């Protein structure tokens, strides 16, 4: 039988079939952030267990810590400091690599893992965080787990798992100017629905994916969980290797060459059979935006707000304070946010800065950039991108999840309308009753300047 990329990684990691029909899977890398990872580490400690392979467990600080310039362990989240300090103490106790609050390597877990080459093609990578699927862009099987599973993986380097089904999504056509990976993945979620891939490992393939750079591929994979996929992955190629090569955890010298040779075999065979195949043509897409409270509530930015079709879409319209039939371009915004594991990498900041350059944020709009990592921030500062943002009136922050996630502490104000590069627009996701519109960095940048929801191409016309 011909194998899919997913089959190959699964087979290479399957230690034994278990009596209940699941498989015992070897786990190569475990990533732990201070919000959920600290809980797993504490539980292991309280049970008096030891950690099977400390060199393969990586601790990061990203969810709770403040993103202000002069931050410390104190955070806006009540009891947040306890999570940060407990995480650090466990990392020190067990001798685990730690990317701490003020380190030059600190950042959002899904941004720093590829930067450090912790994720590599063909590995199994887990983290108690739903957006671990981002890292599937490197040809790894990377997925989000719960804190209890993290405890299990810490102590045994394994997890028992029933093999998910496989789905290939082939992206065809050529995207129009101004249509990014974010616009494509939002359109895909709109088409498949938020529950469209329950129980599937999705392989993204086809010419559009091959053309994408690694950061666009990460944006694409990042939102697979928003259509309920178990995870997503993309076959590795030369772009993958080039992105990882300088990372401190990448194999070096002869071992690197050998590894690249092996990684090229990590692809689905020509006649591999998937449980489901979908082809999605991107040629007609326009910049996407969400109007409601689920990522599936999306439209092309130039389309009118749809009518309610049931009580949940009616609730979403009411919550968002929108009238059906209106154009979103008629709505003023209170805030603009560029950040999160979806769109906070250097290429995202560069593209937004091109639009911002020499212009000013509209009066009354709070505009914030939170780079995904200290490395991204340093690179942006080297290129003068921070100055472009600051001169336009954006706040330039230190890395973290920040206002992607109200539960981490930082947030926007009551009922504020926020245009955001993040991945979730659930009720109160970014603050009390906030109204979040998900979009690309380009759309967020243009809207910050206009004070209204607007596509970057429309800005040029003014
Ligand atoms: C806090 C964490 C468990 C959560 C997740 O799993 O995704 C967060 O990262 C999010 O994006 O909502
Ligand atoms: S940036 Fe947002 S989506 Fe990503 S891990 Fe942090 S809270 Fe979750």
pLDDT tens column, 133-151: 999 999 999 999 999 999 9
* Prediction ipTM score: 0.99
Candidates 38, 111, 129: which one to mutate for ligand 1, based on the most atoms within 8 Å of Cβ? 129
Q: Which atom of ligand 1 is nearest to the CA of 36?
A: 3
- Please name the residue whose Cα sits nearest to atom 12 of ligand 1: 405
Residues forming a β-bridge with 290: 298
Over range 201-209, report the average pLDDT: 98
How many A from CA of 146 to the centre of ligand 1? 10
Give residue-wise pLDDT tens across range 156-184: 999 999 999 999 999 999 999 999 999 99
The separation between CA 47 and the C-alpha centre of its own chain, rounded to angstroms, equals 33
Yes or no: say if 266 and 168 are a contact pair by the CB < 8 Å rule.
no
Over range 369-381, report the average pLDDT: 98
According to DSSP, the β-strands at 158-161 and 165-172 are unpaired
How many A from CA of 402 to the centre of ligand 2? 8
How many A from CA of 130 to the centre of ligand 2? 8
How many A from CA of 201 to the centre of ligand 1? 19
C-alpha closest to that of 289 among 454, 457, 448, 431: 454
Candidates 83, 344, 405, 411: which one to mutate for ligand 1, based on the most atoms within 8 Å of Cβ? 405
Yes or no: say if 235 and 218 are a contact pair by the CB < 8 Å rule.
no
Average pLDDT across the chain, whole number: 97
pLDDT > 90: what percent of the chain?
98
Q: What is the pLDDT of residue 220?
A: 98
- d(CA 410, CA 402) in angstroms, rounded, equals 6
How many A from CA of 408 to the centre of ligand 2? 10
Give residue-wise pLDDT tens across range 409-435: 999 999 999 999 999 999 999 999 999
Yes or no: say if 291 and 437 are a contact pair by the CB < 8 Å rule.
yes
Q: Which atom of ligand 2 is nearest to the CA of 404?
A: 2
CB count within 10 Å of CB 32 equals 29
Helix H segments across 157-298?
181-192, 207-211, 214-222, 238-244, 254-263
- Please name the residue whose Cα sits nearest to atom 3 of ligand 1: 129
Ligand nearest to the CA of 218: 2
How many A from CA of 259 to the centre of ligand 2? 31
Pocket of ligand 1 (CB under 6 A): 35-36, 63, 129-131, 144, 405
Q: Which atom of ligand 1 is nearest to the CA of 401?
A: 9
Q: Which atom of ligand 2 is nearest to the CA of 408?
A: 7
Residue 357 has pLDDT above 50, yes or no: yes
Yes or no: say if 222 and 110 are a contact pair by the CB < 8 Å rule.
yes
pLDDT tier, 459 (very low <50, low <70, confident <90, very high otherwise): confident
- Please name the residue whose Cα sits nearest to atom 2 of ligand 1: 129
How many A from CA of 426 to the centre of ligand 1? 12
How many A from CA of 324 to the centre of ligand 1? 31
Pocket of ligand 2 (CB under 6 A): 63, 108, 129, 131, 340-341, 401, 404-405, 422-423
Yes or no: say if 244 and 155 are a contact pair by the CB < 8 Å rule.
no
The token pair at 166 is 């496989």
Q: What is the pLDDT of residue 462?
A: 47
Model pTM score: 0.98
Give residue-wise pLDDT tens across range 217-253: 999 999 999 999 999 999 999 999 999 999 999 999 9
The token pair at 74 is 């104190």
> What Å distances lie between residue 224 and 130, 201, 203, 220, 419, CA to CA?
10, 9, 10, 7, 21
C-alpha closest to that of 332 among 416, 215, 259, 427: 416
Helix H segments across 95-168?
109-116, 147-156
């Amino acid at each position: 039988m011909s194998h899919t990329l997913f089959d190959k990684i699964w087979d290479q990691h399957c230690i034994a079939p278990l009596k209940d029909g699941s498989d015992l899977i070897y786990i190569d890398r475990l990533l732990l952030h201070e919000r959920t990872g600290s809980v797993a580490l504490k539980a292991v400690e309280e049970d008096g267990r030891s950690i099977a392979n400390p060199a393969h467990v990586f601790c990061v600080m990203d969810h709770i810590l403040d993103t202000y310039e002069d931050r410390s362990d104190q955070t806006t989240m009540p009891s947040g400091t306890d999570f940060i300090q407990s995480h650090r103490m466990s990392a020190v106790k067990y001798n685990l690599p730690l990317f701490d609050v003020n380190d030059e390597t600190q950042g959002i877990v899904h941004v720093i893992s590829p930067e450090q080459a912790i994720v590599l093609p063909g590995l199994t990578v887990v983290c108690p965080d739903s957006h671990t699927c981002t890292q599937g862009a490197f040809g790894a099987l990377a997925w989000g787990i719960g804190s209890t599973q993290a405890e299990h993986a810490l102590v045994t380097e394994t997890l028992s798992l029933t093999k998910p089904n496989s789905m290939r999504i082939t992206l065809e056509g050529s995207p129009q100017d101004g249509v990014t990976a974010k616009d494509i993945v939002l359109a895909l979620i709109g088409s498949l629905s938020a529950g469209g891939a329950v129980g599937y490992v999705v392989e993204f393939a086809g010419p559009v994916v091959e053309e994408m750079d690694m950061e666009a591929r990460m944006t694409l994979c990042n939102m697979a969980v928003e259509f309920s996929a178990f995870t997503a992955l993309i076959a590795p190629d030369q772009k993958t290797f080039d992105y990882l090569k300088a990372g401190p955890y990448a194999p070096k010298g002869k071992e690197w060459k050998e590894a690249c040779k092996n990684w090229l075999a990590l692809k689905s065979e020509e006649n591999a059979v998937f449980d489901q195949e979908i082809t999605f043509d991107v040629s007609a897409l326009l910049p996407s935006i969400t109007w409601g409270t689920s990522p599936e509530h999306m439209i092309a930015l130039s389309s009118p707000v749809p009518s309610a079709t049931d009580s949940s879409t009616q609730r979403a319209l009411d919550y968002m304070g929108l009238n059906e039939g209106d154009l979103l371009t008629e709505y003023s915004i209170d805030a603009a946010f560029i950040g999160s594991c979806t769109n906070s990498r250097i290429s995202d900041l560069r593209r937004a800065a091109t639009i911002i350059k020499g212009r000013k944020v509209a009066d009354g709009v709070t505009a914030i950039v939170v780079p995904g990592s200290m490395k991204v921030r340093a690179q942006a500062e080297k290129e003068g991108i921070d100055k472009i943002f600051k001169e336009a009136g954006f706040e330039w922050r230190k890395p973290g999840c920040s206002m992607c996630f109200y539960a981490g502490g930082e947030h926007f104000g009551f009922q504020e309308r926020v245009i955001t590069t993040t991945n979730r627009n659930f009720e109160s996701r970014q603050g009390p009753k906030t109204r979040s519109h998900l979009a690309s960095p380009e759309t967020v940048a243009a809207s910050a300047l206009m004070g209204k929801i607007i596509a970057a191409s429309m800005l040029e016309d003014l």
